[in-house]
Amino acid sequence: MANVAGLDAFKENQETTVIDASKKVKIGIIGTGWIAESHINAYKNMPDVEIVAMADLVPGKAEAFAKKFGVENCRFYESDEALIAAEKDLDGVSICTYNGTHASCAIHALNAGINVMLEKPFTVTLDEAVEVMKAEKKSGKILTIGFQPRMSENMKMIKKIVDSGELGKVYYLQAGGGRRRGIPTPFGTTFIEKETAGIGAVGDIGSYSLDMLMGAVGYPKPLTVSGYTSAFFGKDPGYYPNHPEYAEKFGVDDFAAAFVRLEGDIILDFRISWAMNMDTCGDALILGTKGGLRIPSTECWNGEFDSPLKIYKTIGDETVEYSVPLKPREDLFAKKLRAFVDSIKNGGTATVPSSEILYNQAIIDGIVKSAESGKEVEINIPEI
Ligand SMILES: NC(=O)c1ccc[n+]([C@@H]2O[C@H](COP(=O)([O-])OP(=O)(O)OC[C@H]3O[C@@H](n4cnc5c(N)ncnc54)[C@H](O)[C@@H]3O)[C@@H](O)[C@H]2O)c1
């Protein structure tokens, strides 16, 4: 073939990032359960990160966790408070505790001047989220919420399409997804007990669904919510053939639906499910005056999609549909934790800021309160 070296200039840039590992970022892990495994796997691959401390309420759990993942020279504690009191030169913590202790752990860390990666959902209640944000404001430290689907190029495409103006004025969002049989109990009951989880499907996978749609349209302020929650499957001993006793422990929701009014004349039609007699709550939809976007549902919904987005438009007098090809899957946990470490090193800002996720939490809180009262509720967000 002829020498076409000059044409190589048009090849896509293969970006290589050089990591300066001369100074290590000191990280602590609070809560060493299931999701902490993804955090540790990501941190262990970073040449500029040193995991110096771990804490878990269960005696010996943090030590066993460190051993399993081959982390050496690490100190262990039996609570977030003990870790924070003893470790004076931490740069950041991953808070991987169950929802019920998200707020207290984040407040303790921020008050001690430590940057925080807080797993999703933000908190259990809106009031808790407000208190965490007050601590964040006072500390001037980074608080980022662990929505790794945000790091996906496919998810970013949803926002790019909305921002391009191709859809015109967006007026309706429909949340989709959900699971037919997907109450998360493979590792015990921390997701289903009121004390540890606080909220069920509405917070666990509902928060992802909200982030996908609300993030795409720039997180408009929620105004009112009419919500419904139920727990028919979670409270049924027959749901858990090997653990019928889980039904007694089930203290959260396994299904939620809501009608939410957002600032800017946008309606959010929300539904989410850990368990139902249906394979999906449907695709997620964004309707605009000039176009519509379909975000296809997946088999076991977890906050991402795995088939092409579809755009619906009218060109001339023809209705047309076209697909947006999927980009390759990436390790989103590695990306989310790399972004956290980079923001610590470079004095950057949160990748997933609390100021946005506050509205996510406000909707969840509104759904819970409206479901309890049986009435539509107004969303009032206290001053921070
Ligand atoms: N981003 C994701 O993809 C993803 C996936 C799964 C779970 N999560 C979130 O991660 C969080 C944890 O989930 P999990 O499945 O690992 O739960 P888990 O119950 O397996 O682990 C939580 C651990 O935190 C410990 N803990 C609680 N409070 C503590 C405290 N104050 N100090 C020290 N340790 C404490 C518990 O003892 C437990 O070992 C949940 O909020 C969940 O929503 C996120």
Domain boundaries, given as residue ranges, for the chain = 25-148+333-351, 150-327+362-378
Residue 38 pLDDT grade (very low, low, confident, very high; cuts 50, 70, 90): very high
Q: pTM to 2 decimals?
A: 0.95
Residue 301 pLDDT grade (very low, low, confident, very high; cuts 50, 70, 90): confident
Ligand 1 contact, 149 CB (< 6 A) = no
**Is 2 a residue whose pLDDT tops 50?**
no
**Is 15 a residue whose pLDDT tops 90?**
no
Assign domain 150-327+362-378 to a CATH class: alpha beta
Distance, CA 28 to ligand 1 centroid (Å)? 14
Instruction: Name the residue at shortest CA distance from atom 40 of ligand 1.
Output: 98
Ligand 1 contact, 253 CB (< 6 A) = no
- pLDDT digits over 58-74, tens only? 999 999 999 999 999 99
- pLDDT digits over 100-146, tens only? 999 999 999 999 999 999 999 999 999 999 999 999 999 999 999 99
Residue 1 pLDDT grade (very low, low, confident, very high; cuts 50, 70, 90): very low
Residue of 246, 242, 266, 119 lying closest to 193 (CA atoms): 246
Distance, CA 158 to ligand 1 centroid (Å)? 29
**Is 9 a residue whose pLDDT tops 90?**
no
End-to-end CA distance of the chain: 65
Tell me the residue length of the chain.
384
Assign domain 25-148+333-351 to a CATH class: alpha beta
Instruction: Name the residue at shortest CA distance from atom 20 of ligand 1.
Output: 33
Ligand 1 contact, 148 CB (< 6 A) = yes
Ligand 1 contact, 60 CB (< 6 A) = no
Sign of the CA dihedral running 286, 117, 188, 41: positive
How far apart are alpha carbons 374 and 319 in whole angstroms? 41
